[in-house]
């Protein structure tokens, strides 16, 4: 229990180093990772069943060449892809917000430095270091969260493009 409390205190002091944007950035990060895990579970567990149902329904059709049949094919592909791509746009938006929040923390930290300089001059180095630390930590937090999300977000986006091509081949007209 003591180790868990120490871990919590360490996390709390790190978040305090990030200043006013650390907690909002943690919230954005939490939402981002929730979407990433949701999409991974969907694409690995739920989506294959939906895809198989669509493929079986298409193969069961007698007519696959008419204009009407091709529209049904397009609708099936679109419906599958809507489910596959759900949340990716929001994920990409959250990823884009992370560096902006880090930059906001940088500005807030530098404003703190300028405030210290205005009040006490250049003599209070310790107080200036706190502002510089806040600026650096918040920038780092924003970039780390964005980069980790960018990796998975890009994999999900590329997977969706690849899956669309695969579906078009699987549901091709014969």
pLDDT of amino acid 64: 87
Is residue 84 within 8 Å of residue 47, measured between CB atoms? yes
Per-residue pLDDT at 132:
86
pTM, 2 dp? 0.83
Q: pLDDT > 90: what percent of the chain?
A: 62
Per-residue pLDDT, averaged over 75-90, amounts to: 94
DSSP 43: I
The reported pLDDT for the residue numbered 173 is 54
Quick one: pLDDT at residue 126?
80
In this prediction, residue 94 carries a pLDDT of: 96
Residue 16: predicted pLDDT? 82
What are the tokens at 99? Answer: 């560096």
* C-alpha pair distances (Å), 118 with each of 113, 122, 135, 157, 174: 9, 9, 18, 48, 77
Instruction: Indicate the helix (H) or strand (E) that contains 103.
Output: helix 88-120
Alpha helices in 18-66 (DSSP H): 22-41, 47-60
pLDDT for 43 equals 94
Q: Which two tokens stand for residue 106?
A: 């940088």
pLDDT at 174 over 70: no
Give the Cα-Cα-Cα angle 111, 113, 117 (nearest 5 degrees).
Answer: 115
């Amino acid at each position: 229990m003591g180790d868990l409390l120490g871990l919590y205190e360490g996390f709390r002091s790190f978040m305090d180093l990030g200043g006013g944007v650390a907690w909002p950035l943690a919230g954005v990060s939490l939402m981002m990772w929730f979407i990433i895990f949701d999409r991974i579970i969907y694409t690995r567990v739920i989506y294959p069943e939906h895809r198989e149902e669509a493929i079986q329904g298409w193969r069961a059709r007698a007519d696959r060449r008419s204009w009407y049949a091709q529209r049904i094919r397009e609708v099936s592909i679109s419906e599958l892809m809507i489910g596959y791509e759900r949340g990716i746009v929001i994920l990409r938006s959250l990823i884009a917000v992370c560096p902006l929040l880090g930059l906001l923390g940088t500005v807030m930290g530098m404003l703190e430095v300028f405030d210290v300089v205005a009040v006490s001059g250049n003599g209070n180095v310790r107080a200036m270091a706190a502002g510089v630390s806040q600026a650096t930590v918040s920038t780092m937090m924003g970039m780390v969260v964005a980069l980790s999300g960018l990796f998975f977000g890009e994999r999900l986006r590329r997977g969706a493009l690849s899956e669309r091509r695969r579906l078009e081949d699987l549901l091709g007209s014969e």
